[in-house]
Amino acid sequence: MLRLLAALVLLAPAALAQDTLLTRAEATDYRATSTYADVTAFVERIAERPGFHLTTFGETVEGRALPLVVWGEETTEPEAVRSNGKLRVLVFANIHAGEVAGKEAVLMLLRAMAAGEHAAWADSLTLLFAPIYNADGNERLDPRNRPFQHGPVDGMGTRANAQGLDLNRDFVKLDAPESRALVGLFNDYDPHVIVDLHTTNGTIHGYHLTYAPPLHPSTPAAIDRLLRNHWLPDVTEVYKTKYGWDLTYYGNDKPEWGQPSGWATFDPRPRFGTNLAGLRNRVGILSEVYSYATFEDRVLASLRFVVETLDWAHAHAGAVRSAVYAAESEPVVGAPLAMRTAGRWVEEEDPAPVLLGEVVEEPNPHTGEPMYRRTDAQTPTAMPVLGRFAFGEPVAAPAAYLVPADQEEAVERLRWHGVEMEALAEDAVVEAEVFTVDSVRTAERAFQGRYEQELVGRYTSATVTVPAGTLVVPVEQPLGRLAAILLEPRSDSGLAGWGLIGAEAGGTYPVHRVTDPAAARRLIGAE
């Protein structure tokens, strides 16, 4: 793959042949965005500089190698990166290839770091940069791909990958090779912090950028407190002081998915990457620059946010590690986990007014179609702020799950996620909780290539004979919280919810629960 990246240097634009690297955006006065060849050529040049190391972490549907730049360690070997004692931060961009500001911002930050800026970060940080995640979508350039977005006027990529899948709805089912590659990166390098760069084209507001922490209500409290009480407020204050631009939590004031009117955040389910990060006991930060700011301002807003976010991580690396360790040590067995979360917004107490904005309409010079450009108008507007989710339908996590070996799609996903499990060497008789299925509600239309389903039923205790080969998934493991969310039948974004674990009304859900920790340990030979 590295030979492929090296060969692509030959396709670099003329600007990259100069001593000063320019992104495609800069070289075209922000009329265009970087192609895959531009990005790979750029990071190849960056990798020539001391301290930067280039590798790949997978391939797209169409076979494009996904570049990863490692900084702060003298190797790209995951084991060495994990063992160096530093705080590991992954910044990735372009999951939606029409939202290209983050891609350009990452390249510009890499160039600044190669010139010696931010050298102090190496004291406490190892940084991983994946600038072009949806690489296939990036190559489908068309100025009509993001209606009303203010450029780049020469065109941008598509939201979906080459399979037609939205990669930011694929973090549970992992149907796309890109998704499997990125979750594989999570497993290999185990970043403590994951920063996901987007662009939002919703409500016309007065902010240059909005953000969100992990939203699932079962996110460990230490991570939620760190982000909501310290990290995000501190970055917001510094950003306003240094640059004069306002930030706030992501939201829209138009009711969606049946929520009441107000400044409502998005979906809490782990199908979204930063929500998944929280359930993996890691810090997730979503960044959403404003679609109606000019392309240049969007790139700058994203760059500034990443810089200030990394500055905070550098200055508070110990606090971040402490929050992650607290999340990891928080007992999961026996603890309640939220199963039904979507649509259960919770109104914040005494919220600050939301800054609504204004736009003017301008024609795209190529298509004549309208683009919106933000103005500096800001109207503080009091409204409900729906920034959290209720703890819907709690279920106590068991000590272990028993997954039949013939549930191949589910077992495959568990392995891809990095969940630990062990096959029974011989038949076993165990007291278990068995879920009887009263009804199955299946969506009439496919969503992201799958027919979602909801199982309705109840648990009862039973003595079951478990055949050899059954996979025992202990909840007392690093990804125990995630394993429970994936395997519970009522989880609204688990494997059953995506139809990856089958069940019929009147039958039983094939995955059983073992609630006794001693029995679970005996099954895996730990006792």
Cα within 13 Å of Cα(217), Cβ side: 23
Q: How many CA atoms lie within 13 A of 369 on its CB side?
A: 14
Check whether residue 137 and residue 240 sit in a common domain: yes
| Angle subtended at Cα 498 by Cα 495 and Cα 502, rounded to the nearest 5 degrees | 70
Domain identity same for 322 and 441: no
**Is the residue at 379 inside a domain?**
no
DSSP E strand stretches across 37-124: 52-59, 65-71, 87-93
Q: How far apart are CA 103 and CA 107, in angstroms?
A: 7
Q: Which domain holds residue 311?
A: 2-346
Beta strand pairing call for 87-93 and 125-130: parallel
Is residue 363 helix, strand or coil?
strand
Residue 271 shares a structural domain with residue 198: yes
The answer on 215 and 68 residing in a single domain is yes
Residue 115 CB partners (closer than 8 Å, separation 6+): none
Asked if residue 354 is part of any domain, the answer here is no
Is the preceding omega at residue 152 within 30 degrees of 0, hence cis?
yes
H or E segment at 138?
helix 135-138
Residue 9 has a CB neighbour count (10 Å cut-off) of 16
Residue 388 lies in a domain: no
Are both 325 and 447 inside the same structural domain? no
Identify the domain boundary among 281, 316, 346: 346
- Together in a domain, 402 and 342: no
- Distances in Å between the Cα of 80 and the Cα atoms of 66, 72, 113, 195 are 21, 11, 22, 22
pLDDT in tens, 358-406: 999 999 999 999 999 999 999 999 999 999 999 989 999 999 999 999 9
Which of 514, 434, 435, 436 lies closest to 476, judged by CA? 514
314 with 448, same domain: the answer is no
Tokens 């290839």 belong to residue:
97
Please state the domain count of the chain: 2
**Which CA distances in Å does 223 have to 237, 296, 373?**
20, 33, 36
Q: Are 178 and 60 in contact (CB under 8 A)?
A: yes
Amino acid residing at 453:
Q
| 456 belongs to a structural domain | yes
**Boundary of a domain, candidates 313, 346, 379:** 346
Residue 361 lies in a domain: no
Report how far apart, in Å, the C-alpha atoms of 287 and of each of 118, 232, 271, 314, 456 are.
Answer: 21, 11, 17, 19, 36
Q: Which of 287, 317, 346 is the last residue of a domain?
A: 346
User: What pLDDT is attached to residue 261?
Assistant: 79
**Do 59 and 156 fall into the same domain?**
yes
Tell whether 368 is covered by a domain: no
The answer to whether residue 353 is domain-embedded is: no
Q: Are residues 182 and 328 in the same domain?
A: yes
Q: Which two tokens stand for residue 157?
A: 């990529």
Q: Are residues 50 and 137 in the same domain?
A: yes
Instruction: Give pLDDT, residue 4.
Output: 40
Q: Concatenate the DSSP letters of all residues of 150-195 into one string.
A: ---TT-B--SS-TTS--GGG-TTT--SHHHHHHHHHHHHH--SEEE
pLDDT (tens digit per residue) in 167-185:
999 999 999 999 999 999 9
pLDDT in tens, 43-85: 999 999 999 999 999 999 999 999 999 999 999 999 999 999 9
The residue ranges of the chain whose pLDDT is under 50 are 1-18
In this structure, is residue 369 part of a structural domain?
no
CATH number where 171 lies: 3.40.630.10
Residues 340 and 401 grouped into a single domain: no
* Residue 342 shares a structural domain with residue 411: no
Q: What is the pLDDT of residue 17?
A: 38
